[in-house]
Amino acid sequence: MDRFRMIFQYFQSNSESIMNGICGLLALASVKMYTSFDFSCPCLPQYNMAYGLGIMFIPPTILFLCGLILNRQSLVMLEEWRRPQGRRKKDLAVIRYMCSSIMQRAMVAPVVWIVVTLLDGKCLICAFSASMDPEKFVGFANVSTVQVQQLLAKVPCKDDELLRNNTSRKAVSRYLRCWSQALGWSILLILIIAAFLARWLRPCFNQATLLQARHWSNYIDIEQKIFEETCCEHSRLFAHKCILHFFESMRQEIKLHSFSLPREGEGAEGEEDLLRGITDQDQVNKLLKTWYYEKPPLDVSQATPRH
Amino acid sequence: MDKFRMIFQFFQSNQESFMNGICGIMALASTQMYSAFDFNCPCLPHYNLVYGLGILLVPPFILFLLGFVLNNNISMLAEEWRRPQGQRGKDPAVLRYMFCSMAQRAMIAPAVWVSVTLLDGKCITCAFCTSVPVETLGNASHPRLSQGEVQRVLARIPCKEIYNGQQLIANEVAVRYLRCISQALGWCFVLLMTTLAFLVRSLRPCFSQAAFLKSRYWSHYIDIERKLFDETCAEHARSFAKVCIQQFFESMSTDLVASHCHLPRKAPADAGEAAEKLLGITDRGAMNMALKSWHRCKPPLHLHPPALPTGNGWAGEGQPPTHPSAPRRETAAYYSWV
């Protein structure tokens, strides 16, 4: 348990680590999903291509959307993009930086699915077996056109009684699998080269702007968290005071009807400070509305409160 | 669990240890990937060579680049290489050291893949089955076939279930022959890599050990400095956010002060403590300027002594004569690298 707590704390230490952790978990989940999915090609001429390509492209779209949903930063970015300007200018470089980092992380799990699918080969065999040229394979060369389509469509199904031990079926299967694996490795190679170039060449362009964008995107995240914590604390105190007032008013009513009770109101004084003068529902609503419509400027040089 | 925590902390202690950990994990991952990968020789004359050599060479290249991509030091290296000189000189020996150490670590996983592939034998069998010497290994009494036919038959050697050339050359014989060559190549490769590693490690101290120590120190320094800068910026952002939000709440409450006649009394103490951590940077423009200067003009590696008050301030005490000499001694100890 200690070990898990330590790993958990390491990932909690900053939100980038959390996002990397989620990204890795989604990638592992996508591999696990693929291995546990029971691929069953329909082995019929028109259905094969739809099934094969569907399995190859629909789950990655789902995983991409999951990656966007699970990433807290996407909400923060949307909020920053759509907020009214107020007293704080908007910096497009920060929004672009956040957008690109969110997209990169969300793309990992779909790419893992597609690469694993291609390296395994079943999808491509299912999708393209009916589009093979029968002349290339001995067993299918002298069959009529209609029948050859049916036979080729049955290639992915190993247990079909027509093609059970047919060497041409195995040849077609091997051929398609070889292409599928070559495509998979090529995609992986291209992506790795792109990632390498991006990491290597990034500091050559606008490093100062990048440092600034990264700092302010981190800042926006932290500010949002601290604001939520402050509001939580405020609402807790508000509720506490509200309930104390309620009991106080009840007690005063009782006092009218019976003998006096000891007074004990001094402890509540200290908490009034933490409420910072915001003590009713309309004021809280106004505060939250102002936070959204008019974020304060990024300038804390004056210590005294200003209007 | 204590042991695990200790190991975890050891690997986290600096970037090099962390990279050693990643390097080991990648080597294990590469053997796992190889055993999970379903090798599927196409058994067609020209495709075999391309497929076999592709599986032998493309994944190691991918693993090599992945070793660089996962290494955080690569952006540090590129940054150090491309930054403007500013007040701090650049030392190409440090850059060379960083690049060499990254490249060495990135080479391990590809070398593991290539060794495992050669020792297993499937790749070489697939790639070179059409080049088997039929005259020496084949059956003496085989029917005369055209060159193309012979190639097609030989190409099916790796696929036992569709092999139809038993009269030409026995499948077992050809597979054993190719596998033997593949394993010999594999062991030679492992021996070569190990010898190279041994030579590099043992001959290094014979050449410019002092320069090597210097480069290693300064490359660790750059790594630690960057990490500390990032942590300081994060700390600063946290304090900035706290003060910003406190001031926001205060400004809201002063708007309502007319109806309540109530000013917060506790806030200033908190604000003071958080404001101190701001290190004097209190608005967006100043922060942007600080970040830009960090990139454009890194400070010199020369720690300044704390500023002395001038003679006027010490009129009443006998201390001044001894103080000026102490910082000079301090300066000499922090000899600059610039």
Higher pLDDT, A38 or A6: A38
State the pLDDT at residue B320. Answer: 39
Higher pLDDT, A182 or B312: A182
ipTM of the complex: 0.72
Is residue B217 in a domain? no
Q: What is the DSSP letter of A295?
A: P
Q: Are B185 and B124 in contact (CB under 8 A)?
A: yes
Over residues A187-198, the mean pLDDT reads 93
Please report whether residue B59 resides in a domain.
yes
The pLDDT value recorded for residue A290 is 80
pLDDT at A57 over 80: yes
- B201: in domain: yes
pLDDT of residue B176: 92
Q: Taking CA atoms, what residue in B is nearest to A201?
A: B78
What is the tally of structural domains in chain B? 1
For residues A195-208, average pLDDT: 83
Please tell me whether residue A127 adopts helix, strand or coil conformation. helix
The lowest-confidence range among A222-231, A291-300, B263-272 is B263-272
Given a cut of 60, whether residue A266 has pLDDT beyond it is no
Which residues are CB-neighbours of B179 under 8 A, at least 6 positions away?
B121, B124, B125
Predicted pLDDT of residue A185: 95
Give the up-direction half-sphere exposure of residue B119: CA atoms within 13 A in the CB hemisphere: 14
Touching B: A residues 170-209, CB under 8 Å: 170-171, 174-175, 177-178, 181-182, 185-186, 188-189, 192-193, 195-196, 199-204, 207-208
Q: pTM of the full predicted structure?
A: 0.76
* Average pLDDT over every residue of A296-304: 65
CB-CB neighbors (< 8 A) of A276 in chain B: 249-250, 252-253, 264, 267
For chain B, give the secondary structure using H, E and C.
CHHHHHHHHHHHCCHHHHHHHHHHHHHHHHHHHHHHCCCCCCCCCCHHHHHHHHHHHHHHHHHHHHHHHCCCHHHHHHHHHHCCCCCCCCCHHHHHHHHHHHHHHHCHHHHHHHHHHHHHCHHHHHHHHHHCCHHHHCCCCCCCCCHHHHHHHHHCCCCHHHCCCCCCCCHHHHHHHHHHHHHHHHHHHHHHHHHHHHHHHHHHHHCCHHHHHHHHHHHHHHHHHHHHHHHHHHHHHHHHHHHHHHHHHHHHHHHCHHHHCCCCCCHHHHHHHHHHCCCCCCEHHHHHHHHHHHHHCCCCCCCCCCCCCCHHHHCCCCCCCCCCHHHHHHHHHCCCCC
What pLDDT was estimated at residue B167?
Answer: 82
Q: What angle do CA A100, B63, A173 make, to 5 degrees?
A: 95
Instruction: Judge whether A256 is closer than 8 Å to chain B, CB to CB.
Output: no
Closest-CA residue of B relative to A304 is B247
Choice between A23 and B297, residue whose per-residue pLDDT is larger = A23
B212 in A contact zone (CB under 8 Å): no
Partners of A199 on chain B (C-beta within 8 Å) are 68-69, 74-75, 78
pLDDT for residue A49 is more than 70 = yes
pLDDT value, residue A131 = 86
Domain span including residue B34: 1-208
Q: Which of residues 51-110 of A touch B (CB under 8 A)?
A: none
| The pLDDT value given to residue A13 | 56
Interface contact A5, partner B, CB < 8 A: no
Interface check B95 vs A, CB under 8 A: no
**Residue B145 to residue B128: CA distance in whole angstroms:** 20
Q: Given a cut of 60, is residue A251 above it in pLDDT?
A: yes
Q: Which amino acid is at B1?
A: M
B242 to chain A: which residues are within 8 Å by CB?
226
Provide the mean pLDDT of chain A.
82
- Give B-chain residues touching A124 at CB under 8 angstroms: none
% of chain A surpassing 70 pLDDT: 86
Residues of chain B with confidence (pLDDT) below 70: 1, 4-5, 7-15, 140-143, 255-277, 279, 300-338
Determine contact, residues B212/B204, Cβ cutoff 8 Å. yes
Specify whether the CB–CB gap between A48 and A130 falls below 8 A.
Answer: yes
What is the structure's pLDDT at B74?
A: 82
Distance CA A183, CA A228 (A): 48
Q: Chain B: give the shortest CA distance to residue A153, in Å.
A: 20
Residue B215, burial from CB neighbour count under 10 angstroms (0-12, 13-18, 19+): buried
The answer for B 258-297 residues in CB contact with A (under 8 A) is: 260, 262-268, 271, 275, 278, 282-284, 287-288, 291-292, 294-296
User: Does any domain span residue B323?
Assistant: no
Residue A302 banded pLDDT, cuts 50, 70, 90: low
Give the domain ranges of chain A: 10-205
Rounded CA gap, A22 and A30, in Å?
Answer: 12
Of B8, B74, B248, the CB nearest to A296: B248
The answer to whether B42 faces chain A, any CB pair under 8 Å, is: yes
- Flag if A278 and B249 touch (Cβ within 8 Å): yes
Question: How confident is the model over A122-171, as pLDDT tens digits?
Answer: 999 999 988 888 887 777 777 788 888 888 888 888 877 777 777 788 88
Distance (Å, whole) CA A101 – CA A223: 19
Which positions 204-233 of A are in contact with B (Cβ < 8 Å)?
Answer: 204, 207-208, 211-212, 215-216, 218-219, 222-223, 226-227, 230
Q: How far apart are CA B19 and CA B21, in angstroms?
A: 5
B144 at A interface, C-beta within 8 A: no
For chain A, the straight-line distance linking the first and the last C-alpha, in angstroms and rounded, comes to 51
Cross-chain Cβ contact A272/B262 below 8 Å: yes
Structural domain contains residue B47: yes
CB contact under 8 A, A277 and B282: no
pLDDT at B331: 37
pLDDT single digits (tens) B80-131: 888 888 788 888 888 888 888 889 889 999 999 999 999 999 999 999 999 8
Residues 45-74, chain B, touching A (beta carbon < 8 A): 47, 51, 54-55, 58-59, 61-62, 65-66, 68-69, 74
Q: Are the C-beta atoms of residues B168 and B134 closer than 8 Å to each other? A: yes
Please give the Cα distance from A79 to B64 (Å, whole number). Answer: 40
Query: What is the C-alpha separation between B143 and B80, in angstroms, rounded?
Result: 69
| pLDDT at residue number B13 | 60
Q: What are phi and psi of B283, to 5 degrees?
A: -150, 170
* Chain A contact present for B196, CB below 8 A: no
Whether residue B88 lies inside any domain: the answer is: yes
Please tell me which residue of chain B has the smallest CA distance to A228. Answer: B245
A248, A265 contact by CB (below 8 A): yes
C-alpha pair distances (Å), B280 with each of A302, B240, B296, B300: 12, 11, 21, 21
The residues, ordered by sequence, that sit 6+ positions from A61 with a Cβ below 8 Å of its Cβ are: A110
Task: Provide the β-strand partners of residue A114.
Answer: none
Structure tokens that stand for B303 in this block? 């720690």
| H helix intervals, A71-206 | 72-82, 92-120, 122-128, 145-153, 167-201
Determine the pLDDT at residue B304. Answer: 61
